[in-house]
Amino acid sequence: MARTYLVETYGCQMNVHDSERIAGLLDEAGYVPVIAGEQADIVVFNTCAVRENADNKLYGNLSFLAPIKKANPRMQIAVGGCLAQKDQSIIMKKAPYVDVVFGTHNVGSLPVLLERARIEEESQIEILESLEHFPSTLPARRFSAFSAWVSVSVGCNNTCTFCIVPTLRGVEKDRLASDILLEVQTLVDQGVIEITLLGQNVNAYGVEFGNRGAFAELVRACGKIDGLERVRFMSPHPRDFTDDVIEAMAQSPNAMPHLHMPLQSGSNKVLQEMRRSYRTDRYLGIIERARLALPDVQITTDIIVGFPGETEADFQDTLDIATQARFSAAYTYQYSKRPGTPAATMPDQVMPEIVGERYTRLHAHQEAISLSVNRQAIGKRMNVLVTENVGRRDTERERMSGRTEDFRLAHFTFDAEDMARPGDVVSVDIDGAAPHFLTGVGLDIRRTRGGDAHQARTEEPTRDPLLLGMPTKRS
């Protein structure tokens, strides 16, 4: 009988994309995804090192698995990703029963390391300092039949004082545009209708080639691929964001009107201490130009609260920028001291209770802004790419969820006898709003190749490991 596996992912979209590769490698090696509710023979943690709670989550789950592994020595545990790249010796000290530790640069080694650990009955640690080959050359088990990630680069050349990622992922490495477009075309041929271009600093793409306009050219090239209906990208950096990207978005019919633009702080003093290489006037200028070229564009962002030295006045600057920018959503974080970063040793570390209080205020402030922005959609008709069918809310209408073109989550009802599938596009009349989603009534279904691909996948006897989580409580 084939051994089963589970992939548990923490962190950013790049980690999710890497987990698809991990699952694909395990498939190719003859393992099969575990059935929901059963204990996997192999558990792989793909970790994040950006915030402390990711560390705590990993070690909590490792502790939970310790007695299970003791009772079943055949079980294997592997830890990869950014935390593994940074703390391989600490992982083995805290959890010596872990079988494999592998880094961000050698995902492809996992099946060999697992087999070596099994045969030698000894933990295997392999951390490479530089990338062996681009992750997108590895096999993948994609979590969606109609939507896919496509990496354009890995690594980062920025030196933000709060971030450990450049140390762990290395300097930026760019893929050839021809390889990226070949992957996109292959995905489209398989039924994918939406792709998201990924990079730690996606709009710096081309730095290795000395071509500052490479990313805009890539967006335009994606706009010419037949059958590709939606193109997104994340995350750009305001320092490298150029007007030709806005122009490419406006002129490419499948480039979606959504821009995720990390702010991090509304204080110029804090931005300087963060070494973010831009100031608020440049940031707001990008948003203003984007809205002029793309009237329907929605802006989302990342904000860190409590960076060392942040004063109440600095925090108020952040609230003011949020008010001015009118983000449809903001991913807000409490500053987390990460060993190895310059910010970790800066003076004037903000007291945790102050950080928490500011975080609560920012969250409430942005909730009100998001609600106001979303209420402006009431009365509009929007195209929603269905991502899931969540069941009947009453006896006559089916309830579904999906993403609008501007990336807002929408829940809507539709006649049950004419049910849409994930991957189909439904025109929805928006009749309600909340801070994190819109509500409405579906009118017309447009069947898509993405829906066909999803239907074909659901008819196959496969189980997606990326949709299965660790046990939520101990029993």
**Burial classification of residue 417, based on how many CB atoms lie within 10 Å of its CB (0-12 exposed, 13-18 middle, 19 or more buried):** exposed
378-427 residue pLDDT tens = 999 999 999 986 655 554 677 899 999 999 999 999 876 677 899 999 99
Q: Which CATH number is 287-375 given?
A: 3.30.750.200
Model pLDDT, residue 472:
33
Return the SS3 of 11: coil
Q: Which of 163-177, 225-239, 438-452 has the lowest mean pLDDT?
A: 163-177
Residue 111's pLDDT band, with cuts at 50, 70 and 90, is: very high
The structure's pTM equals: 0.85
* Count of Cβ atoms closer than 10 Å to residue 361 Cβ: 15
Range 331-339 average pLDDT: 90
Q: In whole angstroms, give the CA distance from residue 244 to residue 255.
A: 13
302-332 residue pLDDT tens = 999 999 999 999 999 999 999 999 999 999 9
- Structure tokens belonging to residue 151: 């990496």
- Give the residue carrying structure tokens 């903001």: 330
pLDDT of 462 higher than 70: no
- Spans of all domains in the chain: 4-132, 142-256, 287-375, 381-458
Model pLDDT, residue 142:
82
Model pLDDT, residue 55:
80
Q: Which of residues 120 and 467 earns the better pLDDT score? A: 120
Percent of residues, the chain, with pLDDT higher than 90: 69
Q: Which of residues 234 and 137 earns the better pLDDT score? A: 234
Q: In whole angstroms, give the CA distance from residue 73 to residue 465.
A: 22
Q: CA of 74: how far to CAs of 8, 61, 71, 91, 380, in Å?
A: 19, 18, 9, 20, 56
Residue 85's pLDDT band, with cuts at 50, 70 and 90, is: confident
Model pLDDT, residue 394:
53
Q: Which CATH number is 381-458 given?
A: 2.40.50.140
Q: Which of 149-153, 160-164, 337-341 has the lowest mean pLDDT?
A: 337-341
Q: In whole angstroms, give the CA distance from residue 132 to residue 109.
A: 10
Residue 461's pLDDT band, with cuts at 50, 70 and 90, is: very low
Q: Which of 10-19, 28-37, 144-153 has the lowest mean pLDDT?
A: 10-19
Q: Which CATH class is domain 142-256?
A: alpha beta
Are domains 142-256 and 287-375 of this chain identical in fold? yes
Q: CA of 191: how far to CAs of 147, 229, 367, 435, in Å?
A: 9, 11, 36, 32
56-78 residue pLDDT tens = 889 999 999 999 999 998 999 99
Within a 13 Å sphere around the CA of 147, how many CA atoms are in the beta-carbon half? Answer: 18
pLDDT of 465 higher than 70: no
* Count of Cβ atoms closer than 10 Å to residue 351 Cβ: 9
**The CATH number fitting domain 4-132, selected from 3.40.50.12160, 3.60.110.10, 3.90.228.20, 3.10.180.10:** 3.40.50.12160
pLDDT of 460 higher than 70: no
193-221 residue pLDDT tens = 999 999 989 999 999 899 999 999 999 99
305 Cβ contact list (under 8 Å, min separation 6)? 315, 318, 332, 333, 334, 335, 355, 358, 359, 362
Q: Which of residues 363 and 73 earns the better pLDDT score? A: 363
Q: CA of 77: how far to CAs of 44, 80, 102, 112, 366, in Å?
A: 6, 10, 11, 14, 40
Mean pLDDT for all residues in the chain: 89
Helices (H), ranges, 410-463:
449-458
* Count of Cβ atoms closer than 10 Å to residue 165 Cβ: 24
Q: CA of 332: how far to CAs of 22, 302, 358, 412, in Å?
A: 29, 6, 11, 27
Pairing relation of β-strands 230-234 and 298-305? unpaired
Q: What is the length of the chain? A: 475
Q: Which of 105-114, 380-389, 457-466 has the lowest mean pLDDT?
A: 457-466
Model pLDDT, residue 463:
44
pLDDT of 471 higher than 70: no
Helices (H), ranges, 47-138:
52-71, 82-94, 110-120
Q: What is the DSSP string of 256-276?
A: -SEEE---B-S-HHHHHHHT-
Q: Which residue, 2, 1, 5, is CA-closest to 77? A: 5
